[in-house]
Structure 1
């Protein structure tokens, strides 16, 4: 899905004269704080903890220790369990065809960005970065192979 295909963006663009584009929508509707937060989401930082590579955005020491005990310290299982971003947890949207398509598109972009960020930061580790389709919406996840 392109930004112009989403009803919110399309409606805004159609209300203007000239040749506005989706970047104009962002310029008029997004603060620098939102831009900065989005940049970190799409190009994340990672944290190494007890042999695991974890997404810094969701790392919580207590949660990690609980899963570490539960999964017997297995790095691949820990990464696959902890490094999950449920799109519906961070994006407030409707259960509509347009919003569902938008979530899928955003998840695909995140997967591609996270894959590139992991390859750059950890060139000697083979990660699997996936989008998992669920009834509630997409989940972006990564773990070593």
Structure 2
């Protein structure tokens, strides 16, 4: 399952090749949003708010996926590591 606004068939096909056909790995790559790509923080306070927002978005995605697909299970991940590109939310089926 892929986020509609991020889905590009050619890119997904490329990821399937790169990730040896692993659908969970492809979902994780395609279904991730770096909040810095959507909202660029200009201060430490704004960065902190984005970190908190990422947690809330992850909670909303979990609830929405559970409601829309009650028979399926998903792993929603929220990261904000110094080595990553800012707060990031992703999901994949399990």
TM-score scaled by structure 1? 0.59
Instruction: Specify every segment of 5 or more residues in structure 1 that has no aligned partner in the other structure, as ranges.
Output: 1-52
Residue 74 of structure 1 aligns with which residue? Answer: 22
Shift of residue 134, structure 1, vs aligned partner: 2.4
CA distance in 1, matches of 2:39, 2:20: 33
Matched residues, number: 92
Shift of residue 92, structure 1, vs aligned partner: 2.3
Shift of residue 93, structure 1, vs aligned partner: 2.0
TM-score scaled by structure 2? 0.88
Between structure 1 and structure 2, the one with the greater Rg is 1
Render the CA deviation track for 1:82-102: whole Å, top value 9, x for unaligned: 1110010111221x3211111
Q: CA RMSD in A?
A: 1.2
Instruction: Specify every segment of 5 or more residues in structure 2 that has no aligned partner in the other structure, as ranges.
Output: none
Q: Higher relative CO (CA 8 A, sep ≥ 6), structure 1 or 2?
A: 2
Corresponding residue SS for 1:54: coil
Pick from 30, 37, 45 the counterpart of residue 98 of structure 1. 45
Runs of 4+ more than 6 Å apart? none
